[in-house]
Amino acid sequence: IAFLSEYFRYHSQKELSDINLEKNQQANTDPLTGLANRRYLDSVFLEQVKQLPQNHFPLTLVMADIDKFKRVNDNYGHDVGDKVICFIAEKLQENIRKSDVVIRIGGEEFLLIFSKSSLDEGIKVAEKIRLIIAENCFSDSEHNIDITLSFGVAIAMSIEDIDMASKQADLMLYQAKSLGRNRVEFKQNQS
């Protein structure tokens, strides 16, 4: 009887643990793209960085935004807009290292995080992705849509720098937008 009781207790706890893990993964995952979401950034990634900073710094942050995305939704509908977001998410994932992270921040905006990466390396990856997206239009059975991305790049050298680097990357993204879109911007004196 004791064996049966222990057996069922173990399996019940394992089942609850599996359910809890699945709920955590769902909470930290963007349902449309399968990418990590903003909650993942705060509750998982930043906690990992705090625990093992030596595995992450320098940390390059790249903000990316789909150019003129509202026009895609207006001209083709939100279903096609969702497909475009998934297309971009896939291209971003395909062109980073396994140790890097792509997060869908919201709407058509993404954050790429490159651990143990210099500003120059981050700029090169952003430029590579920019060219890949610009040269490969989104296609499905009914549409061929030219898509471009704008990027802002910044670097954090410590945990204390992450918030400022995030704001800097966002400012650089808006600068890229204001300078004509489909470009990578960064602050010159960072390195």
Q: Residues with catalytic annotation?
A: 108
DSSP tag of 32? T
- The span from the CA of 183 to the CA of 175, in Å, is 9
> Using alpha carbons only, how large is the chain's radius of gyration in Å?
20
Three-state SS letters, 62-111:
EEEEECCHHHHHHHHCHHHHHHHHHHHHHHHHHCCCCCCEEEEEECCEEE
